[in-house]
Amino acid sequence: MSNNSKKIHSALISVYHKDNLEPIVKQLNALGVKIYSTGGTLKFIQDLSIPAIAVESTIGFPEILDGRVKTLHPVIFGGILARRDNPNDMAQLAEHGIGTLDLVIVDLYPFEDTVKSTNDADEIIEKIDIGGISLIRAAAKNFNDTLIVSDRNQYNDLIRLLNEKNGSTDLADRKSFAAKAFMTSSHYDSAIFNYFNAELEIPAIKVSYSTAKSLRYGENPHQVGTYYGHLDELFDVLNGKELSYNNLVDVDASLQIISEFDETTFAIIKHTNSCGLASRSTVKDAYEAALAGDPTSAFGGVLACNNTIDLDAANAINSLFFEVISAPDYTNEALEVLKSKKNRIILKLKKPLEQKKMFKSLLNGVLEQTLDKSTENAENFNVVTKISPSNEQMKDLEFAIKAVKHLKSNGITLVKNAQLIGMGCGQTSRVDALESAIKKAKAFGFDTNGAVMASEAFFPFPDCVSISGTAGIVAIAQPGGSIKDQDSILEADKNGQAMVLTGFRHFKH
């Protein structure tokens, strides 16, 4: 393949979206390009008083099946796929009276948008593009001779190219547009597969994002970071600098845990773990209770609330240095206060998280699992000790389970009056996690007497129960499942503690 320049003499234009098409059509006409078109696009072009030839008159066959078949014809695909430097190809075109097509502008039916907007299966199926996807692949395959524009987001690039090179393209141009075309087609096919596979659950991963955002760096400055997805669908950024890789990881963690609560709750996250968490009747009180849990770790953290941030809360929050805050809304007065720090990132949530699966790349492949959506409550608790938790203790145990579920294993949470007063996480020993939680609680002035404890996994030995009893912990929640569960139960009975088994482990690595 030579790096030759090729003049555009003919173009096929058949698009679903007509916006921003007008300047392209006018420019092609000014360059003397012969335009072929179909259906609504043909009418659009002719309404601009620009000559265009109907594809059906060229192929001698009308559109059929309510437009399902328009361009699927050898005259069209021969004109696109013919190799101009292949004498045999050109001889066959001449034999059948087929002209070449140098430019193809096609977009696809909005399949993804249709899936989002309706559950009507017939309507969704009709938005599976056949002719468009075939034209895109054909033109991209023959990039040596044909330029393919497969997305309206490429229109500005095309106009610039036509201006700079006076209606000609070189190989690098065509190859670049071809690569984008195959990205378009692969993304489209992935969306269709995932729609069908929602019910079938064929064991295959087809994940495609057409939007990429370069980050300042990855987890560390020497690493490259990119976010693939549509953050603007999830929240509006009301203030602050660009979200970093670590910001995004912590924002995700904060939204995951805050979504567990219906009552007004405030969470403070550091390195994906909750260093502060509390539920109260007002946002200000919830924030202050969360901050009290570990005011040292809260510095530089990520904040999240599931209720509107008002002025009282904003005034309290404003004295803390933090990276990001997210909430469903803010009063105007609260926003004015929080915006006083220009780099402080303020996110207004548009909708809750909707992920159903999570992925992790490792070794030479990818792990996939469903999200941990299980959250146990008092109705599911199996009381295994002589003493049953009181109603208030039951509520705190429910809170403690929600908290420990989102900590790195091994994890322990200590909770009192809907407030996280101590936690230990990421420890190789569950004893270390518990001792860390007790140490933190005491360091920040909390009395562990009367508190409850939750563990995200079972106790292999009764040592944690023994330590918790010494600390004055009155009730314990754990999944159970150890062959030595009975030892821990007997230890709790010995200490006068209540213990419930939930039946659900919440490892987090």
Catalytic machinery residues: 141, 271
Give dist(CA 126, CA 188) in Å, integer: 14
Q: What is the dihedral of CA 136, 137, 142, 143, to 10 degrees?
A: 60
The beta-carbon contacts of 424-430 under 8 Å, at least 24 apart in sequence, are 425/273, 426/273, 430/455, 430/457, 430/459, 430/460, 430/464
276 in helix, strand or coil?
strand
Give dist(CA 204, CA 379) in Å, integer: 37
- Residue ranges of alpha helices (H) inside 48-170 are 55-59, 74-81, 87-96, 111-117, 121-126, 131-141, 155-165
Peptide bond into 410 cis (omega under 30): yes
Kindly list the distances between the CA atom of residue 123 and the CA atoms of 128, 186, 507, in Å, as whole numbers in the listed order.
9, 22, 42
What backbone torsions phi and psi does residue 455 show, to the nearest 5 degrees?
-120, 140
Q: Which residue, 472, 451, 107, is CA-closest to 293?
A: 451
Containing 256, the helix (H) or strand (E) segment is helix 245-258
